[in-house]
Amino acid sequence: MESNRCAGLPHRAALVLARGGSKGIPLKNIKNLAGVPLIGWVLRAALDSGVVDSVWVSTDHDEIERVAKAWGAKVHRRSPEVSNDFSSSLETIQEFIRLRPEVDIVCHIQATSPCLHPHHIREALQMITEDGCDYVFSVVRRHQFRWNEVHGKAGKNPTPLNIDVAHRPRRQDWPGELYENGSFYFSKRKALENGLKQLDKIAYYEMLAEHSVDIDVDIDWPIAEQRVLRFGYFGREEKAAVRLFLCKVSGCLTNGRIYTSVSGEDLVAINARDVAGIQMLQREDIEVILISSVNEPLSRGLLEKVAQQAGCGLRIGEQQGLEVEQLMREKKLRWDEVAFMGSEAEDVEILSQVGLNGVPCDTPVAGLIAAKYTSQKHAGHGAIREFAEYVLMMKKKSTSQVHLDHIDRANF
């Protein structure tokens, strides 16, 4: 960042506006979408773009601030004057740049556009830094015929706005029209200071339909999740092929509860769905090993019984990190070939190094790290099955050809 200033290059700040209030979905900006907080999808794309000097989240809410920082963003606490239902995005951005005199270009990214990719940011920003544009916004091409509204006036017919009804064109013969898709709005500082009233050179950046997912419109969360799972950006580790799946016993495979029988035996319960998830991974040639520390409240005998029931290996060690590193050396694995599901603070170091990491939604570590996947199910109630499906989906993406992940735009 400092080298850019010394070299006379403009400071480029990515800015995501994320107010705590939401009329439709409470705290929508940090609600999990396909295992990731909604805002996490765009923050990951911005951080991995390699062309912005800083990534910011403007918010008025403590929990959004926590999530933003966990995902690597800086936080601007907006004032009450720009935190109400009537505050405009422009007013909020103007407050931000007044307090950040170093910022020359603002890349305003919408938190509700989870299919944003780093290359979108790079290419659009280039239109400002190299092509001399003052303002660049994202659009999508649509093939929709529009009619005027008659407001129920008797005897008045609606009239077409963009077609000749007698010669309705085929889709392949009509280029369609461009619509703002709400993914981003990039602007030079001076244009923002002038309230966007003096824009000498404006340009649009066209995004493909599959990347134009707008949660403000796609309020059906399950449908949006399926779109994101297919077309979202999963980070630099997307191409990693997992060969080993590690999982903590307590807090992941079990819910942390220990039952004692009349005869004094300790008992735990594991979920059949989690066992099925482990078997799914094994069928795809991914080895599964349960790990535990010597401080685990479960006895070694009970841990071995759990591993036997789950049909996978077990490693118990005094120092968990060293035990995992030894395991990787034995199997000649890199970190990006390992997936790990953890649940406690002691797991954070390993979670931060592996190629794919996951946490159950009800564990303490969920608030300590920006996990690639946070399950909807609780520990011991199917969380491992969820994460296993995610790992397999990522494996499929890593082995498939890029062009297979695009839809037929002629029929979209």
Higher pLDDT, 124 or 294: 124
366 band by pLDDT with thresholds 50, 70 and 90: confident
Confidence of residue 3 (pLDDT cuts 50, 70, 90): very low
Catalytic residue numbers?
Answer: 168
Residue found under tokens 């995992």: 324
* Band (400; pLDDT cuts 50, 70, 90): low
Residue 404: pLDDT band with limits 50, 70, 90: very low
Q: How many CA atoms lie within 13 A of 311 on its CB side?
A: 12
Measured in degrees and rounded to the nearest 5, phi and psi for residue 362 equal -105, 20
* pLDDT score, position 405: 44
Q: Residues of 109-141 as b/e, b for ≥16 C-beta within 10 angstroms?
A: bbbbbbbbbbebbeebbebbbeeebbbbbbbbb
Please give the average per-residue pLDDT across 357-371, as a whole number. 83
Q: Could you tell me which of 251, 240, 246 has the C-alpha nearest to residue 366?
A: 251
Q: Which two tokens stand for residue 76?
A: 């601007």
Give pLDDT, residue 411: 47
Residue 412's pLDDT is: 44
Question: Helix, strand, or coil here: 396?
Answer: helix
pLDDT digits (tens, 9 = 90+) for 241-287: 899 999 999 889 988 788 777 777 778 888 999 999 999 999 999 99
| Locus of tokens 């996990």 | 371
For residues 32 and 41, the answer to whether their CB atoms sit within 8 Å is: no
| Residue bearing tokens 């907006």 | 78
Task: Check pLDDT > 80 for residue 374.
Answer: yes
Least confident of 44-53, 192-201, 211-220: 211-220
- pLDDT band of residue 358 (cuts 50, 70, 90) is very high
Put residue 119 in one of left, alpha, beta given phi > 0 → left and psi -120 to 50 → alpha. alpha
Tell me: pLDDT of 409 over 80: no
| Average of per-residue pLDDT across 129-137 | 96
Least confident window among 119-128, 234-243, 395-404: 395-404
Nearest CA to 338 out of 289, 408, 272 is that of 289
Tens digits of residue pLDDT in 202-244: 999 999 999 998 887 655 788 888 889 889 998 875 556 899 9
- Which structure tokens are listed for 109? 């990214």
Maximum pairwise Cα distance, the chain: 86
Q: Distance between CA 138 and CA 408 in Å, rounded?
A: 21
Of 207-211, 334-338, 370-374, 402-406, least confident by mean pLDDT is 402-406
The two three-digit tokens of residue 223, written as one number: 């449908």
**Confidence at residue 407, expressed as pLDDT on a 0 to 100 scale:** 47
Instruction: Return the pLDDT at 24.
Output: 67
User: What is the model's pLDDT at position 94?
Assistant: 97
Which of left, alpha, beta for 380 (phi over 0: left; psi -120 to 50: alpha)?
left
Q: Is the pLDDT of residue 166 over 80?
A: yes
326 pLDDT more than 80:
yes
Give the helix/strand (H/E) hosting 350: helix 348-351
pLDDT at 157: 87
Residues 6+ apart with CB under 8 A from 159: 147, 148
Reduce the DSSP state of residue 164 to 3 states and report it.
Answer: coil
Q: Return the closest-CA partner of residue 96 out of 64, 58, 122, 51.
A: 58
Tokens of 253: 């495979």
Return the pLDDT at 331: 92
* pTM for this model (two decimals): 0.80
Mapped onto helix, strand or coil, the DSSP state of residue 129 is helix
**Distance (Å) of CA 273 to CA 307, 380, 399:** 15, 9, 26
CA distance 149 to 67: 43
> Rg of the chain's alpha carbons, rounded to an integer?
25
Question: Of 232, 139, 231, 140, which Cα lies nearest the Cα of 185?
Answer: 139
pLDDT of residue 245: 95
Burial-class residue 306 by CB neighbours within 10 Å (0-12, 13-18, 19+): buried
3-state secondary structure of 185: strand
List CB contacts of 203: < 8 A, sequence separation 6 or more.
127, 131, 133, 135, 136
The overall average pLDDT reported for the chain is 87
| Antiparallel, parallel or unpaired: β 177-188 and 105-109 | antiparallel
Q: What is the DSSP track for 225-291?
A: HHHHHHHS---GGGG----EEEEETBTTTB-S--EE-TTS-EE----HHHHHHHHHHHHTT-EEEEE
Whether 152 and 228 have beta carbons less than 8 Å apart is answered as no
Q: Are 71 and 87 in contact (CB under 8 A)?
A: no
Strand-pair partners of 57: 16, 75
- Assess whether pLDDT exceeds 50 at residue 106: yes
Is the CB of residue 342 less than 8 Å from the CB of residue 365? yes
